[in-house]
A and B are shown apart, each in its own frame.
Chain A
Amino acid sequence: MAPLSAWIPMRWLAGPLDISQGEKKKEGLSAKSREVLQRWLDPSTLEILRGTPVNCLVVSWAAGLPADAEQPNALAPLLAQAKTAGLSCVGMVGGGANKAAAVASARAAGLAAVMMEGEVPNAGLPILPIAANPHLAWNSSSPVLVAYNNVWPGIASQGLNSQDWRPGRESQASGPTAEPWIDSNGWFLRLAKVYAPSKTCWLLFEPPGSPNVILADAYRRAIADAASFDGRWVVALDDALRAGLAQKEPSAMETWKAIAGTLDFFARHSQWEANSPVGQVGVISDFSGPNETIGTETLNLMVRRNVPFRIIEKSKLAAAPLTGYKALISVDEAMPDPAARKKVIDFVQQGGALLASQAWKGAGGTPTGAAHPRLDLRKLGKGKLAVCKDASPDPYMVARDIHVLLSRANDMSRFFNLSAFLSAHTAAPGGESALLQINNFSGASRFSVSQVTVWFPQQYREARMWTLGSDTPVALKLEPENTGMEVQVPSISPYAALEVALQKLA
């Protein structure tokens, strides 16, 4: 059995407890869904996992419902078969359940772990702490933390542009720039990496329900969105797919093959998890209390604007080296402690830029005289100080304004012919190569996903691309441009990982 941190989990909905929970949902449970939940109790359904990297089943174990009592017995044949197949089974215990009893029954049933909020003394099996994003039990001894309250990655709503315009469409505008609004969990995984660098973060989220049709690429994006930021999605299939798989329908099997292939891809590239995020912008916050919304949303929107950043936990700011940073964001309500504050002021005086909350109003500097609707722009030493005029700054604008304050002259990458996409830029240990993972959310549009160019300021000599479904990388053409190098990418659908190096890639 693989160590806990190497588990690749899949949500396995089956049995009376899931039926009961489905019935309690507002929309109820259809006869077909009930049948599927029953059907997935059959140990033969595990056959789909053969040859895939999935090595962990997450089953519903207890939820404080009458069906709790039936669930272990109903699952027994499935669990036995799973054990024979070398799969680890994790029981999910809901908030309303008797946790001690649930843990005891899980232990008795031979489950490898349980997943629940809170703790049970002397549990006798690992407990994977589960909590709402972003309030995980960072200090837990578990090597795996589980988060719920995540989003299904994808374009949340269609943006408004001039060619889409028709009367009444204004209300559908998705953002001030009419860029598509992309839901992603990347920001949270970045935060998790800071608070618990040695732990693996699992994300719980489900595909949108009916009438949405979830295509294979949507699943691949969901896996890639988490994996690009070093997280792991607890793969959850929609009703229609599970029904199709139970019947071994060819289209369902194809979708499953794509999902398994994507999981396999990231399992084979697990060494990328050792990479470190790169970024010249530091986001300083404690991400809690009154600062939680502004702090986390700033991270979310920095990801969305594809501005590479690193997180500086406020309590560690005084001891954190600020080398490599050119701009800082500090939009918490309160100023950091005096030592940390001095450090930031010194950073600005030496030429850095700071975008800060009103708490920094008295930080000094002389007004530049430039008009700005949101920022009081000041010169401080050799650097720039931009204090938000609004007591509650808009994180979207914070992310946009820091990019301007920093200037695109400091871009670590530039993208062409990509529209709705997110990128995760990391450096390999030792810094000899970099990895740029790109998730393309724009679907199969031939106008937006082919002949993509990515510019890097470095004089890279080698570039290669990994794509889902391929065991070998493709060498990419590099062209010198504007003192850096442009990498020519044939297409990105839905994901590509570009490895670039100053010397030959290993």
Chain B
Amino acid sequence: MQSGITRRKAVGSLGAAAAGVFLGRPARGTVPAPTAPVAVGKCTTYQPSELLPVLEGMFDKLGGLGKLVKGKTVAIKLNFNGGSTVRLGYHPLGDSHWPNPNLICAVMSLMTKAGVKRVRLLECAPIPWTTPFEEYFLEANWNVQDFISSAPIVEFENTNYLNSAKKLSRLTVPNGGLLFPAYDLNHSYVDCDVFVSIAKCKDHGTTGVSTVLKNLFGLTPLLAYGNFAGKWEDNDLVAGIDRIRVLHQGAMQPAFGAPAELDPKSPRDDGYRVCRAIADLSAARPVHLAITDGVTSMSGGQTPNPSLTFVKPNWIVAGTNVVNTSAVTMAAMNYNPMGQKGEMPFMHCDNKLRLAEQLGVGTCDLSQIEVVGRSIKEVAFDFKTLREKRPAGFDGFGGFGGRRGRGGAPGGPGGPPDGAPGGRRPGGPPDGAPVAPPAAPPTGREN
């Protein structure tokens, strides 16, 4: 960072072109939808002996981590959706719907090797502010020490709260925003030099898929955007565990002084709203490095329930542009990242990638994205067909407001489909056998 420029100013000025800094080549500052290479790696286990070389190779192909993190404070937005004690069968959380802890630690280790100064692990965790964020890791049965020993300085912050800051930090959406003009977030999303999104690739009821882009929805603190935001009880716990009333349904406006939405008369449909909030956030808080964990995952939804299927796609996708990376991830899931509303997986929602593209964050056109490392065709895993085969009510298209009423799927009758999770480790899950890549659009330029 240049002296005299605060991180807050830097975030505001970087805008959507931030990713270009890492590339070592000019960002397409004048191009509304930038593009940057996206690396695809084949990885079959979470063993450090496999993860480290695969990730290192991928980062090298992106230009090397050193240029990005040396001497810097890196903030990593984790992807802790659902409760910390809810599992898909016996699978540890990092195997099914949270990014795997070994993968996160491997990324941190490689950052350390590249000279990172400090790593801050961030998430809006539904626990009291008096409970250290580390306790949430422990509750999930993660070994905190593994993280602490992966970087010179490691800090944990639950971004649902103010913590050491006196107020939330306002991040304005360049060019006005789609749903809100600005978002009030925990200071940690401003007080960092490099911002990283690490997420699992999953199906997602409300917005089609959940990857590094959807992960940004979780930047919004429950303090301002939670179901009962503003109705603080006299304790240390935010009431409500999600943002359904404010962001999904638009049944109430944000609290705690956060800006109101742009158009209160806009649709109250979460298929309209959530994807716009995500697109806004991707523009307001640019991502410098996005990593999708697709080594193991689950198909059919974002939060475990017995109807979902444990899968083993065996790949990792990483890039410096969050929309580009999300687009390649979608293609590797056999979805069309440019799909329109009504097309799988955007059956009931707008395409958040296209919305982010409109905001100039990055293109979702695979023909414009350089894929490095493995080709999409080589690694593609067919989430789409698995989803299409799911019985009615388990199609992963549940929502929380507007179109299908409260709750949505899952909840239909019948038991889990064949191939539902069995034993934890070997056997059972569909493995990462290659599948036909998306028929359309083209799979992009591949190296």
Contact = CB atoms under 8 A, between A and B. Distances in A.
A361 interface: no
A373 B236 contact: yes
A291 interface: no
A404 B132 contact: yes
A414 B306 contact: no
A162 B306 contact: no
Contacts of A178: 241
B21 interface: no
Contacts, number: 83
A486 B241 contact: no
Interface in B231-247: 233-237, 240-242, 244-245
B100 to A, nearest CB: 13
Contacts of B142: 482
B143 interface: yes
B144 A409 contact: yes
A479 interface: yes
A372 interface: yes
B346 interface: no
A415 interface: yes
Q: How large is the interface on B (under 10, 10 to 19, 20 to 34, 35 or more residues)?
A: 35 or more
Interface string A409-423: 101001111100000
Given A162-B240, A162-B241, A411-B138, A488 B90 contact: yes
Contacts of A411: 138
Contacts of A166: 406
Contacts of A453: 87, 90
A372 B143 contact: no
A176 B400 contact: no
A409 B400 contact: no
Contact of A373 (B85, B227, B235): B235
Interface string A381-413: 000000000000000010011001001110100
A470 interface: no
B424 interface: yes
Contacts of B131: 404
A394 B242 CA distance: 26
A195 B143 CA distance: 39
The binding surface of chain A is classed by DSSP as mixed
A455 B241 contact: no
B427 interface: no
Contact of B130 (A372, A415, A416): A372
A451 B235 contact: no
A447 B242 contact: no
A177 B237 contact: yes
Interface string B290-314: 0000000000000001100000000
Contacts of B32: none
Contact of A162 (B86, B87, B144, B244): B244
Of A374, A407, A408, A418, which is in contact with the most chain B CB atoms at under 10 Å from its CB?
A: A408
Interface in A162-182: 162-163, 165-166, 176-178
A161 interface: yes
A411 B89 CA distance: 22
A447 B305 contact: yes
A408 B139 contact: yes
A409 B131 CA distance: 13
A432 interface: no
A115 to B, nearest CB: 42
A123 B2 CA distance: 93
A317 B133 CA distance: 34
A482 B407 contact: no
Interface in A411-463: 411, 414-418, 446-447, 450-451, 453, 455
Contacts of A373: 130, 234-236
B358 interface: no
B425 interface: yes
B86 A416 contact: yes
A415 B86 CA distance: 9
A434 to B, nearest CB: 18
A414 B142 CA distance: 11
B175 interface: no
A407 B135 contact: yes
Interface in B111-140: 128, 130-132, 135, 138-139
A408 B135 contact: yes
B90 to A, nearest CB: 5
A254 interface: no
A162 B141 contact: no
B92 interface: yes
A321 to B, nearest CB: 28
A482 B142 CA distance: 7
A481 B135 CA distance: 17
A127 B245 CA distance: 60
Given A373-B235, A450-B306, A453-B87, A162 B424 contact: no
Contact of A418 (B85, B236, B240): B85
Contact of B135 (A404, A415, A418): A404
A205 B392 CA distance: 45
A483 interface: yes
B138 A407 contact: yes
A177 B139 CA distance: 16
Given A416-B86, A450-B306, A161 B424 contact: no
B362 to A, nearest CB: 32
Nearest to A401: B130
Nearest to B93: A416
Contacts of A447: 305-306
Contacts of B132: 404
A404 B130 contact: yes
A416 B85 contact: yes
A374 B90 CA distance: 37
Contact of B227 (A162, A418, A446, A481): A162
A165 B243 CA distance: 12
Given A450-B306, A451-B89, A165 B245 contact: yes
Nearest to A372: B130
Contact of B138 (A409, A417, A450, A488): A409
B424 A488 contact: yes
Contacts of B415: 446
A486 B90 contact: yes
A68 to B, nearest CB: 52
Nearest to A173: B239
A165 B227 contact: yes
B90 A451 contact: yes
Of B89, B144, B400, which is in contact with the most chain A CB atoms at under 10 Å from its CB?
A: B89
B90 A176 contact: no
A404 B201 CA distance: 32
Given A163-B244, A176-B233, 12 more contacts: A165-B227, A374-B236, A404-B132, A404-B135, A411-B138, A414-B85, A415-B85, A416-B85, A416-B87, A447-B306, A479-B425, A486-B141
23 contacts: A162-B227, A163-B244, A165-B244, A165-B245, A373-B234, A373-B235, A374-B130, A397-B235, A404-B130, A404-B131, A407-B138, A409-B138, A414-B141, A417-B86, A446-B415, A447-B305, A447-B306, A455-B141, A479-B425, A483-B143, A486-B90, A486-B141, A488-B424
The 4 tightest CB contacts between A and B, nearest first, are A408-B138, A451-B89, A416-B87, A488-B90
Interface of A: 161-163, 165-166, 176-178, 372-374, 397, 400-401, 404, 407-409, 411, 414-418, 446-447, 450-451, 453, 455, 477, 479, 481-483, 486, 488
